[in-house]
Amino acid sequence: MTTFARNNLWTYIEGLMLSQSDREWLAYKLVTPSSACTRTLSAEERKERFLKMAGSWSQTTEGEEYYQMLKHRNDARPVSREIPVFD
């Protein structure tokens, strides 16, 4: 999330008429990690989410090819790259 988006969110939250119990509930929700954020998705779940976002395009062969390309995009990249600063 960008700084601009965070500032807009904070401005929105400040504009709400929240009771003390509402503020406590919101604070609890913000500091409690959600299970969706902490758990690692399986390969099938990642593919299902990708295809859901792709919509009708996911039913084509190009959709499957694009998914496979994204899945393996880092396979050929070296783990660490040495960049010569001085030759």
- 6-51 pLDDT, tens per residue? 888 889 999 999 899 999 988 888 888 776 566 777 888 888 888 7
Q: What is the pLDDT of residue 20?
A: 92
| Cα–Cα distance for residue pair 62/51, rounded to 1 Å | 12
Q: Per the confidence metrics, is the pTM higher than 0.75?
A: no
In the chain, the amino acid numbered 81 is R
Burial 45-56 (b: 16+ CB within 10 A, else e): eebeeeeeebee
- Regarding predicted confidence, which is higher, 78 or 72? 72
Are the beta carbons of 81 and 75 closer than 8 angstroms?
no
Q: According to the model, what pLDDT value does residue 84 have?
A: 66
Biggest alpha carbon–alpha carbon distance for the chain: 64
